[in-house]
Structure 1
Amino acid sequence: MNSKTSASKGAKKWTLSAALSVCIVAVGCAPLGPDFQEPAVDWLASWQSDLYGNSQSQSVEALSQWWHRFNDPVLNQLMDEARQQSPSLKIAGLRILESRALHGVATGAQYPQVQQITAQGAYVGKKRGGGAYRDFTTSQAAFNIGWEMDFWGRFRRGVESADAAYFASLSNYRDVQVILASQVASLYYGIKTTMQRIEIAQNNLKLQQRSYDITEQLFKQGQDSELDLQQAKSQYLSTKATIPGLRLALQQQRNALSVLLNRAPNNLPELDSIDSTLPQLDSNTVAGIPAELMLRRPDVRTAAWQAAAQSAQVGLAEADLYPSLSLFGTVGWSGNDIDIVDDVLSFAAGPSLTWNIFNYGRIKNNVRVQDARLQQALEAYQASVLNAAREIDDAANRVAQTQASQKILDDALIAAERSLAIATRRYKEGYSDFQRVLDAQATTFRQSDRAVTNRGDHIAAVIGLYQALGGGWQKADIETIVGEQTRATLKNRTDWGDLLEAPLDYPPETGNTP
């Protein structure tokens, strides 16, 4: 009897030791799959050096509020409003909350996956033939626990993937900030440009109307031909016809800006007091911005974190090729109201192993699927860097070319205005016909419109360069990404725990992490 007891105790000790050994090995085993490293962009250093001369005079922080360089209080006010009310920015903030919750799901998978209480009761009634009816009740309850050990790093890779997905959502929020800043500024100065074009058209319309009135009077007095009258009328009506189209464009720009501010169409009282003056930007506005900043563009960061998240999925899929080692335990009780049957209290615990050895290639092919997706993500990252370089180069060249065109167009406008003055004087003195005046008026109107349009294009090019460099985002906190009203709505609807108050975790900026 004593020997059996001793053997039983030894078996229990061996089982406990084995379980502890499994735990230790599980903790120390390196996860399967590749450890992500951000791919190198080999061509960037030389391209950057040739184009920008490795200037380091500006940084990401210096670009975070680039619109302040325009010295326009109304634009600053619109930017602040857009950052608080923009629907796209609110959605990006809620995606951060979503990824935060998904990270909690992945983290929870590392702990005992089964923690379950079960209970049931039954009433049983029996009657055999003509015998008496007999009944009794029975009940049972149990607590079950199961813990799959992370021997192959399945759950650690899951957390790693969730981490990267969360950081990708933060980078995406920054990217939405960049796009939003560019859109607000572009629409604002687009509105001012269109206002100035309308003013030019109206001023030329008044000039052409006077010419039309003069030719009409002369024709009625028999001092001029109908040809001059019809030509003046045609030019007057042609200029007048451009104004409705410009007013339509102005209304569309105002509506688009209203939507960015989360307002009803054309609800922009801030614009009621502005004029059409456009800022004069010198060539040093965007000088000294290093091209290497493209690697810190939010959309490039997002692509890198998405690749990191997918890299962890490869290891997670590979873990399915190997056995799953678990510890299980259960405590149960069953009883009934039959006196001759005792209640039973039971306990069981031990290790278990599950291994899908015959999977007909499903698991291996899933690993291949995840690896192919990883390569796609890596290619997408390289493409994002290449696209960033293209956008920077296009924007920089657009800034240079529109600036070069402006000087030419301004000189052409001066010449056209001088030509109109001479043609008008010579016509009044009888030295030239009225057609020269009409031609000079048309040229002046055309050159005025082109000069203003190009000035607006130059401002848009500067804004585009700031966007291409990834400027316009600011580090946000939990109160910024989810407004007070939205947080109150979420709290009333669902138990969010501390996710709506806990500070945001930001990724490291050094090492091989994206």
Structure 2
Amino acid sequence: MPATTALLRRPGHLLLLGALSLGGCIRLGPDFQPPGEPWSRQWQSPALEQASERGTYPDLRQWWQVFSDPVLDRLISEADAHNASLKVAALRVLEARAQLGIAESGRFPQLQQVGVDSLYIDRHQSGGNNPQDTHFWQHSAAFDIGWELDFWGRFSRAIESSDASYFAAQANYEDALVLLRAQVADTYFLLRTTEARLRVARENADQQKRNFEITEQLFTSGQTAELDLQQAKTQYLTTLASIPAFEDQLLRTRNALAVLVGQPPGGSMLLAEQQGLIPLVDRAVLQDVPANLLLRRPDVRAAELNVAAQSALVGVAETDLYPSLTLLGSIVWSSDSLGATPRSLDLIGGPSLRWNIFDYGRIRNNVRVQDARLQQLIEVYRDKVRQAAREADDAASGLSKGLERERILGEAEAAARRSLALANTQYREGYSDFQRVLDAQRALLQLQDSYLVTRANAVSNLIALYKALGGGWQNSAPPIDEPTLQQMQQRTDWGNLLTAPPPQPTYPIPSQVSHHD
């Protein structure tokens, strides 16, 4: 820096002051434009209106509280604290923050180098009038500085891009939260459903076993044909064979749930079997209109921020089309151990202009590459919004139709129970054959199982609806736990980056970010 100051004090360099003051004022490339389409801000869905209502509780960020299930609350808290994928997403935010720091260093001199040399010279001279041997030390020290002025916005656009990438990493972390919480709830209710289906299979197997034993006694005493015996045995064994499949599914679901909450399969996280049916909720509670919720979804915000980051990179590529102006300066001190040699101190400085004028289309084609990538990300964003709307509409329709089917199957199950009771009574009294009992048993088992699956599908669609609207994106706990922070701090000097508050946007980025913050 002293070399540059000395340089600017000399006459004839006022132009450099002007260039320095203009540095960064011109920013090449497109400014970010929101890539959304008009329909996304006014989107409405009849199915979603039917499946949702406006309210304040539960908060969309903690939508699972609608089930009032303390076990589910505990599982989600465990997943927030210990899930590996969520930890990786949080560490990627930290990585993006460090990348932003690298980009921000472009505001300062890019070259700041101190060099110190101490050389021993053994010189042998022969021939001439004064041949001699000389031995001496030569010492030198230099401080070099080079500062490329941000005349075309190369560095400010790079900071803008890293800025948007940092907030995109944050949005990706929040999206990981949304997906994780929905997956935990879905897996937990799948576990509850599998337990219920297993109970139904065991109860029906017990009933069918009793019928088989009765027909076996009747056949032995000659009161019934062998056909009744074999049919009863077939139905009993068929139901019995379904039990191991349910038990295997139950174990796999428990293991999946254990991994989601950060525990080893078959470890201490063994849930007590729940006897009641999974709760049914007939509609989602929303605090805002669906169109706003869609655009607030973390993955939608991340897609928009990726557009903002790439938009700035187009400007970075365009700066290569124009000359770069760099201020160079050096302070050089040199001496040696020879008594007759003077010491020297040199102050060197001046501007340097570089312009790559013959690149055979490389730079322009690189600009085109970056622009094509920008357009790709715009299309990705628009498709992401469309997919989000489709997911919400499908889940809302699935919830409404699932509840409608659940009501019908509930009535059908009651009728099947009555039908089985009548068939057993008529068979014992000799008014009907055993086939009607078997048919009634088979129908009851199928309806009971279908009823449980339908309830599970309705709950799964409610979870999918909350997920489609971005529910559950906020986490009150620190993204990275204290033991991990301590481990990283011991391994690497992170300064205050692990504890400092999140940075604010340096340059204008999508409007959703300001809403989110």
Residue type of the partner of 2:156? R
Q: Does 1:65 align with 2:59?
A: no
How far apart are the structure 1 equivalents of 2:376 and 2:68?
Answer: 44
| 1:27-106 map, 5 Å | 27=24, 29-45=25-41, 47-48=43-44, 52=48, 57-58=54-55, 62-106=59-103
How far did 1:47 drift?
3.7
Q: Which runs of 5+ in 2 are unaligned?
A: 1-6
Distance 1:343 1:20, change over 3 A: same
CA offset digits 1:93-133 (Å, max 9, x no partner): 10010000000000011100000001212111133459654
How far apart are the structure 2 equivalents of 1:506 and 1:470?
Answer: 23
Distance 1:60 1:132, change over 3 A: farther
Alignment match, 1:451: 451
Alignment match, 1:226: 226
Alignment match, 1:5: none
How far apart are the structure 1 equivalents of 2:276 and 2:63?
Answer: 21
- The answer to whether the Cα contact below 8 Å between 1:103 and 1:162 also exists between their aligned partners in 2 is yes
Secondary structure at the counterpart of residue 465 of structure 2: helix
| 1:322-341 map, 5 Å | 322-341=322-341
How far apart are the structure 1 equivalents of 2:383 and 2:260?
Answer: 29
Alignment match, 2:176: 176
Residue type of the partner of 2:484? T
Greater shift, 64-73 or 271-280, is seen at 271-280
Alignment match, 2:4: none
CA offset digits 1:250-286 (Å, max 9, x no partner): 11111111111111003354512533431132x3444
How far did 1:50 drift?
5.2
Task: Determine which of 485, 493, 499 is the counterpart of 2:497.
Answer: 499
Greater shift, 501-510 or 189-198, is seen at 501-510
How far did 1:506 drift?
5.8
Greater shift, 459-468 or 127-136, is seen at 127-136
CA offset digits 1:179-199 (Å, max 9, x no partner): 011001001111000000000
How far did 1:511 drift?
4.4
**How many residues were matched structurally?**
502
How far did 1:351 drift?
1.3
How far apart are the structure 1 equivalents of 2:492 and 2:251?
Answer: 41
Alignment match, 1:238: 238
Residue type of the partner of 2:499? E
Alignment match, 2:217: 217
Alignment match, 1:291: 290
Residue type of the partner of 1:18? L
| 1:101-500 map, 5 Å | 101-128=98-125, 133-269=133-269, 271-272=271-272, 274-281=274-281, 283-286=282-285, 290-292=289-291, 293-474=293-474, 480-500=478-498
How far did 1:52 drift?
5.0
- The answer to whether the Cα contact below 8 Å between 1:212 and 1:229 also exists between their aligned partners in 2 is yes
- The answer to whether the Cα contact below 8 Å between 1:255 and 1:266 also exists between their aligned partners in 2 is yes
Secondary structure at the counterpart of residue 38 of structure 1: coil
- The answer to whether the Cα contact below 8 Å between 2:140 and 2:334 also exists between their aligned partners in 1 is yes
Residue type of the partner of 2:76? M
TM-score (norm: length of structure 1): 0.93
How far apart are the structure 2 equivalents of 1:413 and 1:294?
Answer: 39
Secondary structure at the counterpart of residue 43 of structure 1: helix
- The answer to whether the Cα contact below 8 Å between 1:38 and 1:513 also exists between their aligned partners in 2 is no
TM-score (norm: length of structure 2): 0.92
Secondary structure at the counterpart of residue 399 of structure 2: helix
Residue type of the partner of 1:494? T
Percent of aligned positions that are identical: 46
How far apart are the structure 2 equivalents of 1:114 and 1:65?
Answer: 50
Secondary structure at the counterpart of residue 151 of structure 2: coil
Secondary structure at the counterpart of residue 27 of structure 2: coil
- The answer to whether the Cα contact below 8 Å between 1:149 and 1:326 also exists between their aligned partners in 2 is yes
How far did 1:62 drift?
2.2
Residue type of the partner of 1:23? L
How far did 1:136 drift?
1.5
Distance 1:365 1:56, change over 3 A: farther
- The answer to whether the Cα contact below 8 Å between 1:402 and 1:458 also exists between their aligned partners in 2 is yes
How far apart are the structure 2 equivalents of 1:60 and 1:297?
Answer: 19
- The answer to whether the Cα contact below 8 Å between 2:122 and 2:135 also exists between their aligned partners in 1 is yes
RMSD: 2.4
Distance 1:247 1:276, change over 3 A: farther
How far apart are the structure 2 equivalents of 1:90 and 1:389?
Answer: 28
Secondary structure at the counterpart of residue 82 of structure 1: helix
